[in-house]
Amino acid sequence: MKIDAKKSLGQNFIFDNNILKKIALNILTKSNNIIIEIGPGLGTLTNYLLCKNYKKLILLEKDSRFINILERNFTNKNIDIINIDALEFDYQNPLYKNSIIVGNLPFNISVELLYLLTKNKNWPPNQIKMLFMFQKEVANRIIASSNNKSYGKLSVIVQSRYLVKKILDIPSSIFKPRPKVDATILEFTPYNKFSSININKIDEVAKAAFSHRRKKIKNNLSKYLEIIHKLKIDSDLRAEDLSVLDYCMIAKNI
């Protein structure tokens, strides 16, 4: 059955078995894990997830055209197929403790979903690992460190809650339909170094700092100057010169 990708949902499918195997090899699970796959589509990656150890496999698919196909192909009692927008699913429900979230994310919701999973007020979250695909440029922004032109608010927010590792670059040529850009798979592991600091305050400080990238922080963060001086951070630096630790310490002292 041929189903065309919906541009409105940012769909790009992968049928290359070599790539799918490489992705699956990086998804390490145990028998007490719940695997949550976002946007399984026709189930090309799902086929490889079936071989993993897991307590339950949950497939979240917004596009109703795929639901019958998924229900027909994946009948195992330990598989739940849910017709839902990934942005509306309750990932922090106690039922989903020890979850591993994976997905070839639709490019048009990837950052919004990552923010949703990062700004959870209760930390650590249910998910113990996430493996997501992003546009390469977005992935570079997520993993960028200070003093890098890709470093920005997204880098600070995500890295204040996750250890992020680049897994694999994926050429645009293997997608159907072919997007204009390459993709990158990143792995996210929650950690607690800054978990006591309100994530919304970190967001507030980073957003203000990067609102005008070329201005010095004494201008962009003028309302926090007393804190900045107390922390012995040079107020003549620019936003991209401050580390994730710097932003978290400013937020901690607000």
Q: Where are the domains positioned within the chain?
A: 7-190, 199-252
Is the distance from CB of 214 to CB of 233 less than 8 angstroms?
Answer: no
pLDDT digits (tens, 9 = 90+) for 131-143: 999 999 999 999 9
- Percentage of residues of the chain with pLDDT beyond 70: 94
Chain mean pLDDT for the chain? 92
Distances from the Cα of 55 to the Cαs of 30, 65, 101, 129, 132, in angstroms?
8, 27, 14, 15, 21
pLDDT at 188 over 70: yes
Is 78 in a helix, a strand, or coil? Answer: coil
Token reading at 89: 């699913």
pLDDT at residue 8 in the model: 45
pLDDT at 240 over 90: yes
pLDDT digits (tens, 9 = 90+) for 2-50: 555 455 444 566 778 999 999 999 999 999 999 999 999 889 999 999 9
pLDDT at residue 10 in the model: 46
- In the chain, the amino acid numbered 243 is S
pLDDT at residue 13 in the model: 67
Structure-token match 């009692």, residue found: 77
* pTM of the model as a whole: 0.92
Q: What's CA 25's distance to the chain center, in Å?
A: 19
88-114 burial code (b ≥16 CB/10 A, e <16): ebebbeeebeebbbbbbbbbebbbebb
pLDDT at residue 106 in the model: 76
Sheet with 79-83: strands ordered across: 79-83, 56-61, 34-38, 99-103, 127-135, 183-190, 162-170
CATH superfamily of 7-190: Vaccinia Virus protein VP39 (3.40.50.150)
- In the chain, the amino acid numbered 31 is S
Domain 199-252 has CATH 1.20.120.80: no
pLDDT digits (tens, 9 = 90+) for 79-110: 999 999 999 999 999 999 999 999 988 778 89
